[in-house]
Amino acid sequence: MGGIALGLRGREAGEGLLDFAFDAAQRRGLPLRVLHAWRTPLLEHGRGMPPVYEEGHVAAERERLVAEIMAGWRQRYPDVPVHVEVVRTGAAKHLVEWSATEQLLVVGRYGNGDGPVRRLGSVSQAAVHYARCPVAVVPAD
C-alpha cells in the first residue's frame, strides 16, 4: 500500500531533503514517488513580461533538471524504485492528492522567517494541513 512521496523543488532541494526521502524509502522497503511541479516563468519569477519561450522547451528543461538531480540519488540508493512526475501546475494540490495513497509525504521547508521556528512555505503548509498521511517537513539546506 503506497510508498514515500516527495515534493522536489528543483535545484533548491537540499541534500537533507533528498537523503531523508531516499533513506525513509530504503528503510521501509518502499518505492519513492517524486513530484516536481513548475509554472510559467511569469508566475514563477513575478516579473512584468516573461521572456519568449516555448512551453515544450520549458517542460523539457524541467524534466532534464529533475533527471540530472535524481541520477546521483538513484546510484546511491539502487534498491529504491523511483517514479518521477514533472507537471505544469501547483505542487500542493498534487501532493495532497498523493497523500491519500502514500505512507509518508516528504516536503521541504523554504519559507522565510527569523527565530527558532521559521514559517512554513505554501506547499509545506498545505501538506501539513490537508495531507491524509504523515508528513515530514525537512528544512532546506
pLDDT computed for residue 48 by the predictor? 54
pLDDT computed for residue 43 by the predictor? 46
Q: Specify the DSSP element, H or E, that contains 43.
A: helix 41-45
- Domain boundaries defined on the chain: 4-139
pLDDT computed for residue 104 by the predictor? 98
- Helix, strand counts (H, E) of the chain: 5, 5
| Separation of alpha carbons 53 and 62, rounded Å | 13
Q: How many CB atoms lie within 10 A of CB 59?
A: 14
pLDDT computed for residue 52 by the predictor? 57
pLDDT computed for residue 92 by the predictor? 93
pLDDT computed for residue 20 by the predictor? 96
> One digit per residue, pLDDT tens: the chain, 141 residues?
699 999 998 766 688 999 999 999 999 999 999 999 987 655 455 555 555 567 788 888 889 999 999 999 999 999 999 999 999 888 999 999 999 999 999 998 865 656 555 677 788 889 999 999 999 999 876
* Nearest C-alpha neighbor of 52 from the set 62, 60, 42: 42
Q: Homologous superfamily of 4-139 in CATH?
A: HUPs (3.40.50.620)
DSSP state at residue 37: E
CA distances from 81 to 74, 101, 109 (A): 8, 16, 25
